């Protein structure tokens, strides 16, 4: 998801304080929706009214069910994401530092990278049945690429420019790495990790829909098959909110870790 792409719209929103027309539009949409469903004007069999969704949401939260499902999805996503970041950074460093690795590996990377993670789902189910491993495999594969590519890119970028600086200052190899290369490469690597988080969450939900009957993804499909639209929508909203919250958390953390670097997103991959 192009995290940085919305900034123009966000600017238009945030500039003049509270966005009244925006808020009104949202309320208007909800109101029309409510009236249309209650009044029978719109006859989708399974379109619930916003009020029904709110009630379902409250019920699920209070019963603790929502929490349990969220924890499952969140933890799978985070575990998968961490693994993806480690693998991605490792791969990225290898490719970035060694031109030999690039010569003998880049084409393979370019072939493997566009492979849709979702295509691994049936294979994972075949090998691991419906389990957490299935979910993790499907999360890790697509999530490691943004990190790997960003890492490779930034190392190559930075390496060319700053390596000479280090040598001029007669720093040892490790010093160069730690004091110059790492901090300079970090913003872009972190940006890749941020994009990965979004991917990881989405893949977690997808995996739960098909390959691992736990968590929010499974709940959504379960409510769909049980014809419980209000519950289903409630879960959907939680997934959306989770995505926003995670991204915001990551942005805040990156800003904390590297003050001054995160004016505009440098998303890649």
Partner 1 sequence: MAKTTSIFAKLPPLRGLLPLILFLIAWQLLQPRQSPYFPPPSAWWTSVLTLLRDGRLMPALGSTLLTFGAGLSAATLCGGAIGLLIGLSRRASRTLGPLLEFCRSLPPPVVVPMAVLLLGYSQSLKLLVVTWAAAWPILLNTASATSQIEPLLLSVARTYRLTSTDTVRKIVIPAVLPAFMLGMRVAVPLAIIVTLLVEMLTLMPGVGSLIVTAQREYHSAEVYGLLVLIGLLGFVLNNAFIVIEAKLLRRWPPRAHEIT
| Of 150, 154, 247, 264, nearest in space to 194 by CA | 247
8 binds partner 1 (CB under 8 A): yes
Is residue 249 a contact point for partner 1 (CB under 8 A)?
no
CA 229 vs CA 23, 28, 47, 70, 239: distances in Å? 25, 22, 7, 19, 15
Q: Which residues neighbour 6 within 8 Å (Cβ) at sequence distance 6 or greater?
A: none
- Total of residues contacting partner 1 (CB under 8 A): 72
Q: Kindly list the distances between the CA atom of residue 263 and the CA atoms of 31, 164, 250, 255, in Å, as whole numbers in the listed order.
A: 37, 27, 14, 9
Site for partner 1 in 89-108 (CB under 8 A): 102-108
Residues 189-218 that bind partner 1 (CB under 8 A): 201-202, 205-206, 209-210, 217
Instruction: State yes or no: residue 121 binds partner 1 (CB under 8 A).
Output: yes
Among 35, 86, 123, 258, binds partner 1 (CB under 8 A): 123
Q: Is 118 in the site for partner 1 (CB under 8 A)?
A: yes
The answer to whether 206 touches 137, Cβ cutoff 8 Å, is no
10 lies in the site for partner 1, by CB under 8 A: yes
Compare residues 2 and 173 and give the one whose CB is closer to partner 1. Answer: 2
The three-point CA angle 89-95-101 to 5° equals 140
Cβ 6 to partner 1 shortest distance, Å: 6
Identified binder of partner 1 from the candidate list 136, 229, 231, 234, rule CB under 8 A: 229
Block residue for tokens 């499907």: 138
Residue from 29, 31, 86, 169 touching partner 1 (CB under 8 A): that is 29
Residues 143-182 that bind partner 1 (CB under 8 A): 149, 152-153, 157
């Amino acid at each position: 998801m192009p995290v940085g792409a919305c900034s123009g719209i966000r600017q238009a929103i945030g500039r003049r304080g509270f966005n009244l027309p925006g808020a009104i539009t949202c309320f208007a949409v909800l109101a029309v929706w409510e009236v249309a469903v209650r009044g029978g004007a719109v006859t989708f069999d399974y379109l619930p009214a916003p009020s029904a969704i709110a009630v379902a949401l409250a019920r699920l939260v209070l019963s603790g069910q929502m929490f349990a499902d969220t924890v499952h999805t969140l933890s799978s996503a985070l575990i998968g994401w961490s693994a993806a970041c480690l693998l991605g950074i490792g791969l990225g460093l290898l490719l970035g530092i060694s031109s030999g690795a690039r010569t003998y590996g880049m084409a393979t990377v370019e072939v493997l990278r566009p492979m849709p993670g979702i295509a691994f789902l049936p294979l994972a189910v075949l090998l691991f049945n419906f389990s957490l491993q299935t979910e993790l495999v499907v999360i890790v594969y697509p999530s490691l690429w943004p990190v790997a590519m960003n890492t490779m890119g930034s190392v190559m970028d930075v390496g060319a420019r700053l390596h000479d600086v280090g040598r001029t200052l007669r720093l040892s190899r490790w010093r160069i790495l730690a004091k110059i290369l790492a901090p300079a490469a970090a913003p872009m690597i972190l940006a890749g990790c941020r994009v990965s988080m979004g991917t990881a969450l989405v893949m977690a939900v997808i995996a739960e829909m098909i390959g691992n009957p736990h968590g929010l993804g499974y709940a959504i499909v379960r409510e769909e098959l049980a014809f419980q639209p209000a519950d289903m929508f409630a879960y959907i909203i939680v997934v959306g909110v989770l995505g926003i919250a995670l991204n915001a958390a990551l942005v805040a953390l990156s800003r904390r870790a590297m003050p001054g670097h995160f004016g505009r997103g440098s998303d890649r991959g």
